[in-house]
Structure 1
Amino acid sequence: MIKHEKNVLVVSYYFIFGKMSKIGQKIIIVPASVHVEIQDKTIVVKGSKGTISFTLPRFLSVTQTAGSLLVERKGDTKIQKSSHGLFRSLIANAVSGVETVWSKRLEVIGTGFNVKKQEKGIVLKLGLSHLVVFSPPDEIQLATEENNIIIVSGVDKQKVGEVAQQIKSIKKPDIYKGKGIRYEGEHIKLKPGKKAKTA
């Protein structure tokens, strides 16, 4: 039994770190409209929509050729392999984001619930005793549609995801009726109410 558990653990490690290592080896294609600067361990990616910069770990480096980038690592430890894939993904997302912008959409669901744009942020009415005001970081933009849709956008895919999750956590969907904030199109598995249980 112990041997079986160890085998499963080894397979899991191989799957996670091996997969990330393979991702790290893929070449990143850079469009002519995107400018990349490499200064020692700092990578700066510039495009029409904005700029993103990264500081690489000491065991990673980036080689730039005409129209492409290659992330390379010096060692083969688990951390080095996983970081290899992670930073390759971050840089690839930056190359795309500075030209096309990343976005996530959320829905506000519930009777009397709504969202309104206010300057750079949003104001949420969520059935609480007070309105909720949310202001994003400078590099993130918020927009609304039809009083119940929130659009989070920016050049940094990771930041867009983080801000969308922060907004969602303000009022997570109710487990019985689904009222709250969810990603657009997200399916929420509801629990039966007390009346349904006793019927």
Structure 2
Amino acid sequence: MSRIGKKPVAIPGGVTAAVDGQEVKVKGPKGELRHVLVDEVIAKADKDGIEVTMREDTKEARAMWGMSRTLVANLVTGVTDGFTKTLEITGVGYRAAVQGQALQLQLGHSHDIAYVVPDGIQVACPKPTEIVISGIDKQKVGQVAAEIRRYRPPEPYKGKGVRYAGEYILRKEGKKK
């Protein structure tokens, strides 16, 4: 049994939530999000919050129960606080800058990379070697961070590249003479 799925998702003040069939809509101070749940679970809105239950006790329903509850909780967190991912750039001459709706990356390639930032995502560069990605949709924020990191993932010998803040890179020893 899912220990996460049993807990209802609390709705804080200033946030409205509505369940229409399998679709959950959440509106808060930062914006509005919606998610369509899988058929194996049922969502009900009441005074405690949104409660996610299994339609019938099957292996697939048990697998989706906790995940569906977490997705609904991410909707509520997104419209109240939002989500943030920070990327660090390591390497001589590697830097980033925001120009309009594009992120300009200099990552040691023969050309600069212009990454167009999708709608609903804000990108900031407080330092030339730091990229802060924020938005209300956790999946979009993580996808944008992964796409930017994919341009130059950290290599294991010198650690040069784009990494998540706090990510540990397993370093290898170089050639021995």
Q: TM-score range by the shorter chain?
A: over 0.9
1:29 aligns with 2:10: yes
1:116 aligns with 2:97: yes
Deviates more, 1:171-180 or 1:55-64: 55-64
Secondary structure of the residue that 2:143 maps to in structure 1?
Answer: helix
Alpha carbons 2:30, 2:82 under 8 Å: kept = yes
Residue deviations 1:114-140 (CA, integer Å, cap 9, x gap):
000011231100110000111232122
1:193 aligns with 2:169: no
Instruction: Give the alignment's TM-score, normalised by structure 2.
Output: 0.94
Question: Of residues 71, 91, 94 in structure 2, which corresponds to 1:90?
Answer: 71
Distance 2:136 2:48 in 1: 20
Larger Rg: 1
Letter matched to residue 76 of structure 2: V
Question: Of residues 165, 174, 196 in structure 1, which corresponds to 2:155?
Answer: 174
Letter matched to residue 121 of structure 2: I
Query: 1:1-199 to 2 correspondence within 5 Å?
Result: 18=1, 21-194=2-175, 197-198=176-177
Distance 1:162 1:81 in 2: 27
Alpha carbons 1:32, 1:67 under 8 Å: kept = no
Distance 2:48 2:4 in 1: 19
Letter matched to residue 98 of structure 1: V
More helix by share: 1
Secondary structure of the residue that 1:98 maps to in structure 2?
Answer: helix
Distance 1:137 1:53 in 2: 18
Q: How many matched pairs?
A: 177
Alpha carbons 1:104, 1:160 under 8 Å: kept = yes
Distance 2:63 2:134 in 1: 27
Distance 2:40 2:170 in 1: 44
Instruction: Give the alignment's TM-score, normalised by structure 1.
Output: 0.84
Identity rate, percent: 38
Alpha carbons 2:107, 2:152 under 8 Å: kept = yes
Return the offset for 1:67: 4.3
Secondary structure of the residue that 1:26 maps to in structure 2?
Answer: coil
Alpha carbons 2:40, 2:60 under 8 Å: kept = no
Return the offset for 1:180: 0.3
Letter matched to residue 168 of structure 1: R
Return the offset for 1:147: 0.5
The runs of 5 or more residues in structure 2 that have no matched partner are none
Residue deviations 1:3-31 (CA, integer Å, cap 9, x gap):
xxxxxxxxxxxxxxx5xx22111111101
